[in-house]
Chain A
């Protein structure tokens, strides 16, 4: 089943490697070109077209997919350095996967678009997320994730250094102790991976079979505990307002 046929029928997500055959054969693309609507920045026109009959909807889907491909290429170009090992075809494949996945997500959430921004801006954020996540995961494919707090030099090495004051060393020791003593094992793992070792949250989420939001919540809670520990030790960095838990 082609991507267009799949989304038009609200079917299951198409096979990741299955090419959108309608595009490849040029059939729908040709139809779209002959009935070009050029929806541009007209958000209401996008919504009407995407909710219309197939004769109107299919060209709109093609136009939206083209817009998403532009977004995907933009995102992958920004990440060129971390994807240096990939061929041009592989980059193109990643872009297509991101655009396909974003198209499915957008159609599933179409009714949540409230017009707070232009439709195109709203649509772009989906494909940038998809492309960014895929690129980060690809860049970290096969790399080990270190969860050992002592592997991080700032926490491991609290001995006097050329640019460290005595107070610096005391704060670092207090922070290292708080990481060990105040955090739960899961909070410690997440804090070490994300904050200390710079592991992308989407990469860790994939390895731990969880979500970006769930991991960030864990990081947030860990940070609050560490702030409180440093405040207790008289080093400032006070905690958030307890009534809000640090959330708006």
Chain B
């Protein structure tokens, strides 16, 4: 199978590892962003976040926006 199509289908099918829910993602988002900006291993500290952000465009959008805003204000 071509890699383009495999990637496209993989995106449709979402993360292939366990993820947090949208509610859990919102609860952890501030901590996750600060860990990221501090250069810590946010994915190891808060498992399931990276997978959820890969599968949920709305939460991923919130994450990108918060990371940018906090980075600007640090």
Residues of A that sit less than 8 Å from B by CB: 71, 74-75, 78, 116-118, 120-122, 124-125, 128-129, 132, 136, 154, 163-165, 167-168, 171-172, 175, 195-196, 198, 200-202, 212-213, 216-217, 219-220, 223, 226-227, 230, 235, 237-238, 240-241, 244, 246-248
Contact = CB atoms under 8 A, between A and B. Distances in A.
Contacts of B12: 175, 195-196, 223, 226
A118 B34 contact: yes
A121 B30 contact: yes
Contact of B70 (A121, A172, A246): A121
Sorting the interface of chain B by its residue count into under 10, 10 to 19, 20 to 34 or 35 or more gives 35 or more
Contacts of A132: 58, 61-62, 65
Main secondary structure of the interface of B (DSSP, over half): helix
Contacts of B61: 132
B69 A219 contact: no
Contacts, number: 123
8 contacts: A118-B30, A129-B26, A136-B58, A171-B1, A172-B5, A200-B57, A223-B55, A237-B13
Chain A interface mostly helix, strand, loop or mixed? helix
Of B2, B12, B20, B31, most A-chain CB atoms within 10 Å: B12
Contacts of A125: 26, 29-30, 62, 66
Interface of B: 1-2, 4-5, 8-10, 12-24, 26, 28-31, 33-34, 47-48, 55-58, 61-62, 65-66, 68-70, 72-73
A109 to B, nearest CB: 10
Contact of A220 (B4, B5, B14, B24): B14
Given A117-B30, A227-B16, 5 more contacts: A75-B69, A120-B73, A195-B12, A200-B57, A248-B18
Contacts of B72: 74
B65 to A, nearest CB: 5
Given A247-B21, A248-B48, A116 B1 contact: no
